[in-house]
């Protein structure tokens, strides 16, 4: 069963690699880079391969069986 989490950010956006670490979906930046480059991460249902992609409030990120929604802090 998929797991859904809301993650609040202070700024208007956060880089995808940072978000994966903040949400606890990956342990470190190296793993974040790898899973993003391998096309394993989706943003709003679309594969995202840019680690530096800006993720904004309201967007949904999926990796493995985890789903994270970005909210304002």
For 29-42, write each residue's pLDDT tens digit: 999 999 999 999 99
Domain count for the chain, please give it: 1
What is residue 2's predicted lDDT score, i.e. its pLDDT? 61
Which CATH number do you get for residue 56?
Answer: 3.10.290.10
Domain around 36: 3-72
Give pLDDT tens digits along the chain (73 positions).
567 899 999 999 999 999 999 999 999 999 999 999 999 999 999 999 999 999 999 999 999 999 999 999 8
Question: What residues contact residue 3 under an 8 Å CB cut-off, 6+ apart?
Answer: 65, 66, 67
pLDDT number for residue 3: 72
Residue corresponding to tokens 């993003």: 36
């Amino acid at each position: 069963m998929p797991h859904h989490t809301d993650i609040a950010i202070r700024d208007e956006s956060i880089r995808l690699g940072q978000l994966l670490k903040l949400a606890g979906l990956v342990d470190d930046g190296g793993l974040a880079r790898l899973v993003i480059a391998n096309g394993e991460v989706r943003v709003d249902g679309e594969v995202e391969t840019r680690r530096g992609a800006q993720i904004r409030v309201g967007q949904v990120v999926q990796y493995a069986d985890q789903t994270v929604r970005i909210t304002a802090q």
